[in-house]
Structure 1
Amino acid sequence: MYLIVIAWTYVTLMMAVAEATSPNGTVLGAVITFALYGMLPMGILVYILGTPSRKRAIKAREAAEQAAYDAEQAAAAASATASAAPDAGGEAPASAESPTVAAVRKEP
């Protein structure tokens, strides 16, 4: 693809040089020739021929983002499962059992 772009740019550059150096030509005509016959068509060609690679890059980026999101969700689920497990001893923590507070008993 780039070989075509380089070759056509060379051709249009030579056309512009011929326009600028001819007795009836002008530099403005050379610039317009290079822009309209060279850069504009080559810009369109590069855009059209580059579409498949842009699509591949977009899909690869989206797949990477999805994989990162899935890994984050899996880590969050594993963290939530580990922290939600109850105490294996079945007793209240020591800080909750204060010796200054008497147990509440039912009156007979």
Structure 2
Amino acid sequence: MYIVAIGWAYVILMMAITASSVGKALAIVIFLGALPISLFVYAVGGRKRRVPSTTVPDQVADQRNAADPETD
């Protein structure tokens, strides 16, 4: 997933380097680079945000077992 973002950043960086002025280069980096890459990473990383974490219930269960060893 990140290889696509890295490749896109490289292409945009090359476009910004060949721009005729600093203002155009900054506009290219912001509007064609930073915004689309952040949107892409947010959209593709959505699966990780939607999957519930199972470590918290496991930690609670471990604490209950550690508090009362006679339950086993």
The answer to whether TM tops 0.5 is: yes
Higher RCO structure (Cα 8 Å, ≥6 apart):
2
Q: 1:5 offset after TM fit, Å?
A: 0.9
- Bigger proportion of residues as helix: 2
Distance 1:78 1:6 in 2: 51
2:20 is the counterpart of 1:29: no
Cα distance in structure 1, aligned partners of 2:63 and 2:69: 10
Q: In the TM superposition, what is the alpha-carbon distance from 1:2 to its structure 2 partner?
A: 1.6
Deviations 1:35-72 (A, max 9, x none): 1101110110011101112334x42xxx2221221233
Give the superposed CA RMSD: 2.2
Pick the aligned partner of 1:39 from 31, 34, 42: 34
Q: State which structure, 1 or 2, has the greater radius of gyration over its C-alpha atoms.
A: 1
Point out where structure 1 has 5 or more consecutive residues left out of the alignment: 20-24, 82-108
Structure 2: 5+ residue stretches without partners:
none
Alignment length (residue pairs): 71
Q: Name the residue aligned to 1:64.
A: 55
Partner of 2:15: 15
How far residue 16 of structure 1 moved from its aligned partner, in angstroms, is 0.7
Moved over 2 A (4+): 53-56, 70-79
Query: When the two structures are superposed, what TM-score results if normalisation uses the length of structure 2?
Result: 0.75
